[in-house]
Structure 1
Amino acid sequence: MQKISALGLDVGSKRIGVAGCDGTGLISTGLFTIERASFEEDVAQLRELVEQREVQILVVGLPYTMDGTLGHQARKVQKFARRLGFALQLPVEYTDERLTSVEAEELIKTEKRSLSENKALIDRKAAALILQQWLDERRSPKQPFNHPSDSDSIIDC
């Protein structure tokens, strides 16, 4: 099995949940949450992690609408992800993140923790769910996730 080092990102307007995977690409784990400041500060925090973990790819959750279309928030996430991929010189792939925050909230509830006091933890868990979904799709013999009208090569940025 080929080794993989990927970061999963749950990009929001206030925070970015960050997850990583083990070298085998089997298990994702929430790492930390970035409190958004400026693009440059966000990149600086991620660059350090990218270098430490020898990251090969960024996996970004794309918030499709419930009917499967790309709404305003999804386009904002794509724009940010393209800029981030260019700044870090890494390819970007997307995975459908619908309901990952809801699933992360349910996990927090089962731990008997307050949702309002654990927003950063929710984002981190959502990032882990996003990355785990992508890892599972990579191993699956099914067709990989299709990215509607977004080639996202670094050259496009």
Structure 2
Amino acid sequence: MAVSDDLGLYAHPRPAIRTRSVAEAVRAVVRLVQQEVVAEVIVGLPLTLAGARGHQAEATRPLVEALRAALTVPVREIDERLSSAQAAAASPGLGGKRDGSLDSASAAVVLQGVLDRRRREAAR
């Protein structure tokens, strides 16, 4: 999980949601959206290196559909290829952790990419 600051300049990691069910994950995201007054939810889509929707990307479909049904804010899917590698490179101590820290850092990488693209597009 990650959220941006009020100006949409910087992504900040939040604790990872560690659940075994889509319903629990959706409840946790809904709580965060309400607490943080989130205007849009971005879900990292784990495409293959070739850019195709593989097994892992298809596994996110039920979560995305459930989020869209539960939330009134837009839910967008964004390519997250190599975000874990980028996060691990930026914070080498996260690489071997299994506590969700790397996932949160990866979410911040994905969100920061979205924020940066939006700023570039707005500057044109």
- What is the TM-score of this pair, normalised by structure 2? 0.87
What do you get for the CA RMSD once the two structures are aligned?
1.8
Per-residue CA deviation, residues 59-86 of structure 1 (Å, 9 max, x unaligned), is 1111111111111211221331121121
What are the within-5 Å matches in structure 2 for residues 63-142 of structure 1? 63-109=46-92, 113=93, 115-141=95-121
Structure with higher RCO (Cα < 8 A, 6+ apart): 2
| Cα pair distance change 1:79/1:43, threshold 3 Å | closer
Indicate if the aligned counterparts of 2:84 and 2:106 stay in contact, CA closer than 8 A: yes
Unaligned runs of 5+ in 2: none
Distance in 2 of aligned mates of 1:137 and 1:94:
15
Report deviation, 1:48: 1.6
Q: More strand per residue: 1 or 2?
A: 1
State the distance in 2 between where 1:76 and 1:136 align.
27
- Whole-Å separation in 1 of the counterparts to 2:47 and 2:121: 24
**Residue 42, structure 1, aligned to residue 25, structure 2:** yes
Deviation at 1:95, TM superposition (A): 1.8
User: Which has the higher mean CA deviation after the structures are superposed, 19-28 or 36-45?
Assistant: 36-45
Residue 37 of structure 1: how far off its partner (Å)? 2.6
Corresponding residue number in structure 2 for 1:23: 6
* Cα distance change of structure 1 residues 139 and 38 upon mapping to structure 2, 3 Å threshold: same
User: What is aligned with 1:4?
Assistant: none
Of stretches 22-31 and 131-140 in structure 1, the one that deviates more from structure 2 is 131-140
Residues 16-46 of structure 1, C-alpha deviations (whole Å, 9 max, x = no match):
xx00000111100101111123222222222
Secondary structure of the corresponding residue to residue 17 of structure 2: strand
* Unaligned runs of at least 5 residues, structure 1: 1-17, 143-157
Identity between Structure 1 and Structure 2 (%): 34
Give the structure-1-normalised TM-score: 0.70
CA distance in 2, matches of 1:75, 1:36: 18
Closer, same or farther in 2 for the Cα pair 1:138/1:43, shift >3 Å? same
Moved more, 66-75 or 83-92: 83-92
SS at match of 2:121: coil
Tell me the CA shift for residue 130 of structure 1: 0.7
